[in-house]
Structure 1
Amino acid sequence: MTHATITTRLDADNPWPGLESYCEDAQGFFYGRVRECEKLLKRVLDAPVTVLFGRSGLGKTSLLHAGLFPLLRNENYLPIYVRFDLKPGAASLSCQLHDAVRHALQAEAPDATLPRDDESLWEYLHRADLELWSTRNYLLTPVLVLDQFEELFTLGEGVPDQVEAFKYDLADLAENRIPADLATRIKDDPAEARRFNLRSHNCKLLISLREDFLAHLEDWCRFSPALGRSRMRLLPLGIDEAFEAVYKPAEHLMTPELAHQVVDIIAGAGLHTGAGVLPHDVDVRVNRRGATDVEPTLLSLVCRELNEERKRLGKAAFDEQLVEEHGRSTIPNYYTSCVSGMRPEVAEFIENQLITTTGFRDFEAVEDAVPSHLTREELDQLIDSRLVRLAEYHGTQRIELIHDVLTGTVRSHRDQRNAERSRRLAEEEKEKEKAALAEAAERARERERAAQAQLAVEERAKIEAQRQTQALLKRTRQLRAVLAAAVVVAVVAASLWVWAIRQRNEAQEHFRAATAERLYGESLLMLAGRSPLGSNDFDAMQMLLAAYAIPSTEAGRNYDLLTVLNEERNLLKVIDLPFVVRSVAFSPDGSRIVSGSADSVVQVWDAVSGQPVGTPMRHGDRVTSVAFSPDGSRIVSGSADNSVRVWDAVTGQSAGEPMRHDAAVMSVAFSPAGSRIVSGGADKTVRVWDTASGKPVGAPMRHSDTVASVAFSPDGSHIVSGGYDKTVRVWDAVSGRPVGAPMTHGDRVMSVAFGPDGAHIASGSADKTVQMWDAVSGRAVGQPMRHDAAVMSVAFSPDGARIASASYDNAIQLWDVAAGGSEPSVLLGHESPVWTLAFSPDSRELVSAGGDDGSIRLWDATSWQPMRGHSDAAWAGYFDGGRRIGSGSGGDDKTVRWWDAETGQPIGEPLRVDGPDVGYLFPVDQNRLLSLSHDTANTVAQLWDARSGKPIGEALSLPPGPNREVVADDTTNPRIAVKLEPSVLQVYKSDTMRPVGALIRPTEEVATFNFSHDGEIVATGSVQGTVELWDSDTGERIGRPMKGDSWVASIVFSNDGSLMAVGYANYRLRLWDTGTFEPKGEDMPQVTLPAVVALSPDNRTIASGGDDGNIQLWDVDGQKQLGAPLTGHSASVTSLHFSSDGKKLLSSSGDGTLRVWPVLEPDPNLLCAKLTHNLTPERESETARGIDYDSPCTQLTASEYAGQR
């Protein structure tokens, strides 16, 4: 194990470490990363495992030591830093981790019992008596910080066995999974379990690595999915943060102006001025990818070198001369120091391959550079010196300079080298001229000698010709023998040709398979937002389809296809375009969408196919806002050309003359009757126009800054507007007078909307909030609903149930109005700020457009969103023939709720059944509820009327007993089974609460039990892993016991009772044939405890829900995973039920939410349906590296973009 060693000690006179990392003691000098520190702290506190990743040179180690560790200590967490020693002969990685924990505890918790040498770290951290008290008498929680984890994939190649062994040990820690050897000991001796708190999670893991090694980490996610759940990407510093990093630790050494000057040097010699978060007028096109950023390592280097020069000159503080004269020479000097001592070919490689001829940054693939130009050791040295970095691009690692600021220096060195080479060449040419004259004289003398020799040659040639004539006669006689030998040679050659063809075919097959594997991996990484290539889901889906179709052994991989389909379940269509779309709107019948874009075009699209409808309608500048008239016959648009225009929605012809503002138009809307148009603009006015004549109606209404958004109330009597003056204002639509006082935000108001009842207004602001207001009083309704960045657009659903908001944080959030906007649902897919959105007329779909990603997206806004309402753990099932969902909860909630199974919307008000004996409550059918009480005093079961909330019949009250458990059957004649003693069960009729049949007496202590769907059979599962079946009428055993190898965690029957799925505590899932009492197929490995399982009605699919909140679908016949786990719940899954047609899966969770998931067929056409076109042949070739394949999307045509025009 190696520790972070930092040789430079920072103090007031030396506040920057240069290329070294900040240590924890240097926290007082570490600035510019406040937001990242807080974000990382939150992730570490919220998740058991966190992964921090970022490019080389961004200061990940400094962020850990000087940023995160002090914050963790304030929260009574103990950071334990580890960087593994991967040299051959070093201790195993698990031992190194074990030693790191021991040393940290000796220093920070001296009274703690230390881990024994023969005790695994998992066992130590799960000791039942484990308590780690600090010297200040606070209980500590260890945080294991594994830094520079990429070294396991580089240096670890030298010790592959150690890395492989550690992978499983780390997975046990990350997943809180009982190690295999301990599970075996517990199985042999159940008392062993009492030494441990098996469910505790007494530590946290934080892994830090370079982002170009994320793909390697993905391979580990198969063994430890937790490695993929909570991740944070570290980005370069922004201009403001870089200024803090320079100025804050050295306020006594420099002025703010000088600090800005230093930052400008790194940011590009002052060429970039930076920009605010939002455009100040409509002419600003936002492009976050072009935003200036600063490499922290280079910044620290320049600051340290300038400071050293300051001290050398004896200056008390920085001055302009120092910064001007020496600041810009720091980078050239640094470049020289990096390449000095290395072979000249290294500098030539950098100067020829890593910048273009005109001096721009370029790149070279690693496979082309090593070993042709560099050795691996030389590349590592350049990376360690922070001169170059590796970046992943379309599956290829490429080498590039760490920052554009280096290109001038590199180009200057190249120019000097080329000038020196030209001088040498000129001198060499002069020497060559002298040599050429001497050579010409020598050639003349040589010609004379050659002429004399020619006569002798000709004479010898005559003699040789006579000899060859005699030899030819002899060879003719030998010809027959030679021909016979040639036949043998031809046969051998043919065999070799066949072998060569076979080898070529095998090589091609390997290449096709490797290409498909790469495309599968890149598509999943991109969709997960973990790819260095970005998160473009259009490219990701096309990569997946290419991998699926490439003729290879990897073709048709259903796991990957289903993973993508599930990930994109909310996406209905993506319309990818080469320009920014600023506004979108649905037609009144929902069949069409209109968009306005930065290329000055208004375009209508088919809402189903995503194809353009009609001809484009053009403005003289970018289009900022569009809307359909209430009857759908016309379209109004506003533009930066200062005009409002009306168009025929069918022909695309302009209707009437443009209506003009004095500056760019920002927003337009029709009145409910369609007779008027309201517009707001950068001229700070709100104007009303007569639709038919195009003439203004009344005087303009004024803000004190740009008007960003306008809307009519549903009855047309009022207008709401929002502006850059941070206000929301309501106006009388007839008189133009203001109504009430302005409503204010903390920053510019970007969007406003009336609710469908006209009683409420929603506004979105650059202050990152959405606020709902009372339209009459102007008072805020509820708390602000928050995004992570400016809110650009808001919309009420036409049914009034939700508010949708689009933000600069690339996300769309759906807020439940009735719930006051708590816990939004999130739609992710845009890879840049989302500018605009709109609901469909039926409230079920949503259309949005992103800024620089140039896409219009259609979303299913209803089907797969969580159902919220319960405040405690919930249980749920399908009722009323699958038309309704019923859910119940216990704890402090104690309510039953009904939901529309199609829309997920609540039906009626929740029914609360309160009382001292109501601990858990859930529906038995649409008419009856069952409550259970489980405490130390007694266990009470009671039926209730689902409408009145009154009790039905007598309650069942049981005497006190340890580990009392109750399971209810959900048939029309419901029964309950109660565990009276560890190995005794009794079945009761729940309508009379009277016992049915004899006691059920399993041979081993019961861990769990369940009814068959018809209620006729009870299955019991023991702590030793045995499952037994019992007749619920008589209590008699059915058949023979079914033996497992770990205690039983869950049991479920198929609908017809022929199969039974059993989840075991050793993270296995097994199918049993209830007719033969034999296992069916292979065990299905789980990544967490399978707490709940369900079988589809057709017995083709099994679902398992874990205590990590994830759900995994399996194919019953092949026991194969149907895609990656379904993620969405934040606590244990409490129930799973398939719909009657098997196409949906209902889940509930300890987080109080219900979710419905699609159960999809592995059909690539489902993915094709989300696209509007195929790739062009050129893009297909680039994607598949020249491999020919037929796209599965046969109904789509090839084009560069959607609706190519």
Structure 2
Amino acid sequence: MSYELKHVFASLPQMERGVAKVLGGDPKGNNFLYTNGKSVIIRNIDNPAIADVYTEHPHQVIVAKYSPSGFYIASGDVSGKIRIWDTTQKEHLLKYEYQPFGGRIKDIAWTEDSKRIAVVGEGREKFGAVFLWDSGSSVGEIVGHSKIINSVDIKQTRPYRLVTGSDDNCSTFFEGPPFKFKFTMSDHSRFVNCVRFSPDGNRYVSAGADGQIFIYDGKTGEKIGTLGGAKAHEGGIYAVSWSADSTQLISASGDKTVKLWDMATATAVTTFNMGPDVLDQQLGCLWQKNHLLSISLSGYINYLDKNNPDRPLRTVKGHSKSIQSLTVHKNEGRSYIYSGSHDGHINYWDAETGDNDEFLGKGHSNSVAKMTVDETNQLVTCSMDDTVRFTSLSKKEYSASDAVKMDVQPKCVSVSSGGLALAVCIGQLVLLKDKKKLFTLDNLGYEPEAGALHPGGTTAAVGGSDGKVRLYSVQSNTLKDEGKVLDAQGPVTDMAYSNDGAFLAVTDEKKVITVFSVADGYQVKNEFYGHHAKVVCISWCPDNDHFATGGMDMMVYVWTVNDPDKRIKIPDSHRLHHVSGLAWIDGHTLVTTSHDASVKQWTLKI
């Protein structure tokens, strides 16, 4: 029994309003880089469904940049640590780790020989450092600013020059190495968000929150002019990126546009309008070979189309917040993965290609706790916004009539034949049919945590925080307590009937999974031990002989019903984060999700 990772559908960048997002590009032009939480995400620019995730930072990572050689990536986090790691091996071995200052690292720049690194950010005593990559010894001082430094860049041709941009509305110019302060430019009236040298080193630009872009001589630092006259953008500018031939530039702004500039005439050739919504503010951009990328506040990655500026060639969607729930469904022979996140966002993915999108309209406004698909091809979801929704998978559109309001917050939802659904809420059980409440059971005398309807629709099993599972019979549209109680080893966390209804599997906080045999009057069939922490989710394999569990220990186990010792263990399935959801595409393909906002597919040999 073995496993291998088949696909990673990566998270989007984690965005913050009014804060620039730095995108890194690889020197060969194949990949681009960004960060989300403690992860650095490397994505293929031609096919963003191909991704790799680096998860070795113990703190939130802010920025990552390739070395000009392409062999290493330097990434910096909120604690001021910078890690330099290998890109050629799958393991991404750590080469060096430094702490140039204590505080958030906001930008990183390498010299063209990949030997020196400049880092800037929010230090306590200093806001920047420049050092040799292999020894950490200083090769100059970054001084001249009184506030946080947002951006740094190094001229990629000799003689080297270094520029920085800061919250003190100034940019500074250095000569070196060793890099020495030359002078300060105070042309901007607000924060300087981004400074970038042209690839040929002849010029550099600074872009600010005042909506202006200034052009300077790359060698002397003298001001040459501005882009777009008095103002380049109506809103603050967060990022700029040069074309490889140094003749053009793109700029991303809070005014919800990206502009393409011709540097010879200092005028905008194309304006890309990204939409009317606040989430359409543009906080990052990258020019990589013939790809123009920009990042919206929503986290969406836009591939811009010079020929059609009002519609991107493609928009890469996904999750930027932790994924809480997961299910899969086959439609016309193709498998789709549905995932719901902490912010109420539901995304669907083509399991093979990774192509993804979201439903139209207004859906859940809070964390999506559980999801499943019923027999009429509706996605049934329950959320902390106190609703259970039934969304047609063929229409892929939310409608207000499909939401059923609950009296209290639902934790779990389960479906069975005959259009039945069971919502387990705080202190309450609700039986639904055809999008309507049939029956509500209050005053339970225990706190229900999870529930499962038998596929035949005759029995509802409900697990409580008291470590007991109660069986209710579904009779003429009511739930009747038959007095039948099963014992789990601890407070119940999740439960599921096998697809054929033969078994009921229950997970609990005491790290045990108990499987009951339905035909034998719910006698214990087997108990399964192996998790080091609370087990939080469970999913049955289509063959009904195996099931998977995920825990707070970041482990996924695939168990064999008849033999607790025969199992597959996937350690660190989502490193640094516990597994939040499991689903099977077929008998050999398992999907996992986690708080790292990514979706992974595993091929199993059972």
Coarse TM-score class (shorter-chain normalised): 0.3 to 0.5
Choose 1 or 2 for highest CA Rg: 1
Instruction: Write 1 or 2 for the structure with the bigger share of strand.
Output: 2
Q: Under a length normalisation based on structure 2, what TM-score does the superposition of the two structures give?
A: 0.47
Bigger RCO of structures 1 and 2 (CA < 8 A, at least 6 apart):
2
